[in-house]
Amino acid sequence: MPPIFRSHGDSGRRCDRVQLLQHSVEVIMPVTTDQLEVPAAIRVDLGAIFVSLELSKSTWLITSLSPGHGAKMSQHTVVGGDIAGLFVRFGVLREKAQARTGKLYPLVVIEEAGLDGFWIDRRLRREDWIESHVVDAASIAVSRRRRRVKTDKIDGETLVRTLLAYKRGEPRVCSMVRVPTLKEEDRRRTCRERKTLVGERTLHINRIKGLLFGQGITGYAPLHRDRRERLEELRTGDGDALPGHLKAQICRELDRLELLIEQIKTVEVERDALLAEKREDMPSSAAMLREIRGIGPEFAAILYAEGLYRHFDNRRQLAAYAGLAPTPWRSGSIDREQGVSKAGNPRLRTTMVQLSWLWLRQQPDSALACWFQERVRRNGGRLKKMTIVALARKLLVALWKYVTAGVVIEGVVMKST
C-alpha cells in the first residue's frame, strides 16, 4: 500500500511523515511508566536449582540448571539406588551455585512416575531445602515426528524445561502426580493382591480342566471340596483309569490351587479388617458403601482404597482420575467424541463398569438405572456398552457425593439390617 502524503510541496510531506511516525510510536510503545510496572502473570524470578532425575536400575542421570550458569545444563550420573551419592551431588551443585552468585539456593527436583515408586520422592521431601515433584510422563508434550530422537540426555533436559514451565505457572504444561502416603499406598495392597491371586487360581483351574478334557473328561469342578475324591473316580472317555503321570500332575496342580484358596481367604480377612478401620478424616466411608444393596465387601474395598480416600475438588477431577472423562476432538468443522480417556486408575475404572452392570440388577428403580434404560430406549436398544460407561461415570460421582457429603442417591435401596 503506497504511503499517504499531501500533494502540496515537500514541507507538507515531511510534516506528515513526522506526524505519522509519532502516531505509530504512541500506538506501539507504552504511554505511562505505570504500565511498565504491572507484574506479569508468569513468574520469571525463580531463584532455585532445577534438577531432573532419569531413573534406571543401573544408573541415575542428574540434569541440572543452576543460577549463574546461563542456559547451559549440567549432567552427572550416580549408581542406581545410591541415595547417599545423590545427596552428595546435590551438595556439590549448591556449593558451585553459591560460589558463582554468593547465595545458597534450594533445589526443585522432578522425576517421572515409574517402577521406582515413590520412595525417592518421600526421601527428598524430608529435606526442607528440596522441593520434589513426580510427573506423569504421558502428560509431557513431545515431538510428533514419526521418528523422534529419544535419549536419556534429551529426556533429562525436557524434564528440566517442563519443570521450569510448571513453576512459572504455565497451564496444562504437565500433570503432577499426587504422591500417596506410605499408609495410603499400603492400603491398596490387599485388593490388588487378591486380584492377582484370583487370576492365578483361574489359571490353575483352566489347566486342570484342559488336561482332563484331553482325555474326554468334562464336568470336573476343581473348586469343590470333594475334588480329590472325585479325581479318584474319574475315567477317560474310553473307560480307562487316569494315567499315572497325568494324575500326579493334576494332584500337584490341586496342591497349588489349595494353597491359593487359603491365601485368598487370608487376604479377605485383612480386607474386612480394612473396611472396619476407623479414620479421623473419613470415619465411615467404607461402611457407608457397604450399606448400599449391590455393593459387597470387595467393591467397597476397591472403591475406598483406589479412589474415594482421596480429596477431589469437583466431579471433573474425580472422573479424570478414574479415566472416565470424555475426550472430544474438535477442529474446524470436525466435532466428534473419541470416548473416555482411560488415562486414570484402571482398577477403579474397571470396577465401576462392573458395578454399573450389577447396579441395573440390584437397583432397577433408582434414578441412575432409569436414566440408563431411557437412554437405551431412545437409541433403539443399541449402544449399551457406551451408555454403561456413562452410567459408570455418573455412579462414581454419586457415590463420591454420598460418601463425602452424605447425599443419598435418588431411589437407592439400602441393605436390610
pLDDT at 13 over 90: no
* Rg, C-alpha atoms of the chain: 32
Angle at 408 between CA 402 and CA 290, to 5 degrees: 60
Q: pLDDT band at 81, cuts 50/70/90?
A: very high
- Sort 416 into a burial class: Cβ within 10 Å, 0-12 / 13-18 / 19+: exposed
Average pLDDT over residues 188-209: 95
pLDDT at 16 over 80: no
Q: pLDDT band at 286, cuts 50/70/90?
A: confident
The tens digit of pLDDT for each residue in 314-344 reads 999 999 999 998 888 998 889 888 888 888 8
Q: Can you read off the three cell numbers belonging to residue 88?
A: 552428595
- Residue % of the chain over a pLDDT of 90: 64
pLDDT at 360 over 60: yes
What are all long-range contacts of 15-22, with beta carbons under 8 Å and residues at least 24 apart? none
Name the least confident of 57-66, 294-303, 350-359, 408-417.
Answer: 408-417
pLDDT at 37 over 50: no
pLDDT at 273: 85
Cβ-based neighbour number of residue 10 at 10 Å:
9
Cβ neighbours for 320, distance < 8 A, ≥ 6 positions apart: 341, 343, 344
Interatomic CA distance for residues 179 and 167, integer angstroms: 18
Q: Which amino acid is at 381?
A: G
Name the least confident of 40-44, 135-139, 356-360, 395-399.
Answer: 40-44
Task: Please name the residue that has the C-alpha cell 454399573.
Answer: 356
Cβ neighbours for 313, distance < 8 A, ≥ 6 positions apart: none
Counts for the chain of helices (H) and strands (E), in that order: 15, 7
Rounded to 5 degrees, what are φ and ψ at 340? -75, 160
Q: Which residue has the higher pLDDT, 256 or 278?
A: 256
Interatomic CA distance for residues 265 and 15, integer angstroms: 96
pLDDT at 30 over 50: no
Average pLDDT, the chain: 86
Q: Which residue has the higher pLDDT, 284 or 158?
A: 158
Q: Do the beta carbons of residue 332 and residue 306 sit within 8 Å?
A: no
> Residue 374: enclosing H or E segment and its boundaries?
helix 367-378
Q: Can you read off the three cell numbers belonging to residue 177?
A: 502426580
Average pLDDT over residues 362-375: 94
Find the helix packing angle between 346-362 and 384-405, rounded to 10°: 100
Greatest alpha-carbon pair distance for the chain in Å reads: 122
Distance linking the first and last C-alpha atoms of the chain: 86
Q: Which residue has the higher pLDDT, 197 or 144?
A: 197
Q: pLDDT band at 36, cuts 50/70/90?
A: very low
pLDDT at 72: 85
Q: pLDDT band at 417, cuts 50/70/90?
A: low
pLDDT at 160 over 70: yes
The tens digit of pLDDT for each residue in 377-392 reads 998 888 899 999 999 9
Q: Which residue has the higher pLDDT, 108 or 8?
A: 108
Interatomic CA distance for residues 20 and 88, integer angstroms: 63
pLDDT at 28: 37
pLDDT at 279: 56
Interatomic CA distance for residues 207 and 254, integer angstroms: 10
